[in-house]
Amino acid sequence: MNWIDKLEKKFGRYAIRNLMYYIIILYAVGYVILLFAPDMYYNYLSLDASAILHGQIWRIATFLIYPPNTSLIWFLIVLYLYYSIGRALESQWGTFRFNLYFFTGVLLHIIAAFVCQYGFGVNFSQYFGTYWLNNSLFLAFAATYPDMQFMLYFLIPIRAKVLGIIYGIYFGAEILAGFLAEHLTINMLYGLSRIGIIVHPAYSLMALLSLGNFVIFFLGMRRLHRYSPKEIHRRKTYVRSVKRGEKVVGTHKCAICGRTEKDGDNLEFRFCSKCNGNYEYCQDHLFTHTHVK
């Protein structure tokens, strides 16, 4: 049992079902505020670390109303997109894991705001709202559903993993640019500004921290393949067959210890690409066995 399983066992009952439904409502409220009273958001609701320390505690939550786009047509399109992404992730991971991912991103946004304010004396978070939070959701979707197809500009079919790689390269450039600012030429700085990259160490640190939930969940854990669509479908099929009273024959067997999936619900099996032949191993022997040549 990993740390997320332990947290879910203890706090899972507090998870908010259909979380993206409420987030979409907040975005709609934020869009109306920005449309009719934009100064209200920036002066009283945005993520401002200094204002929070001066008593405006509500800002740690109200900054979430910042909409993903301010153009009405694109706002509606992006709203539907992020709602669909959130619902798909919650359905695939479970309510608690999706809540944990989302609110970890919120917490890291707040930490980034304080680090930038008191480490560098600037406040980029006030003007970027939920930009990084929304992008972390898309990266999570691309990693979970890599073969899902989008219609870019409603014309060009493109897979989620391709978009994820493009986004990853762009975000990597944003993060590296600020840390390498003093080594970049004027032309390079100008070129980066033309594609929307702010070359400042504080901005780079904010981007890195704000995308930390994706790094923690997808790069810092080894067993997230358990929540891939194919793996979940395989387990659900197996459970349904057991409930129907069918005789289930173990189709997976470790070539080292001989265990099958009937020996434990948490056992996982993989074929080794370096062995000659179809040799399958459990998670305890996949990386420790001697390759068959």
73-84 as b/e: b if 16+ CB within 10 A: eebeebbebbbe
Q: How many residues can be counted in the chain?
A: 293
- CATH topology for 3-229 is Rhomboid-like fold (1.20.1540)
pLDDT for res 219: 67
Which long-range contacts link 196-200 to residues 24+ away (Cβ below 8 Å)? 197/173, 198/124, 198/174, 200/120, 200/122, 200/124
CA distance 57 to 53: 7
Q: DSSP assignment of 254-280, as one string?
A: -TTT--BGGG-TT--EEE-TTSSS--E
Name the residue ranges covered by the structural domains of the chain: 3-229, 249-293
Element of type H or E holding 158: strand 156-159
Q: What are phi and psi of 116, to 5 degrees?
A: -65, -40
pTM of the complete model: 0.72
Element of type H or E holding 60: helix 59-62
pLDDT for res 137: 92
What is the Cα Rg of the chain in Å?
23
pLDDT for res 25: 95
pLDDT, mean of each 10-residue run, the chain (293 residues): 77 91 95 92 92 94 91 90 92 90 93 89 78 90 87 79 90 87 84 84 86 80 53 57 54 82 79 80 81 77
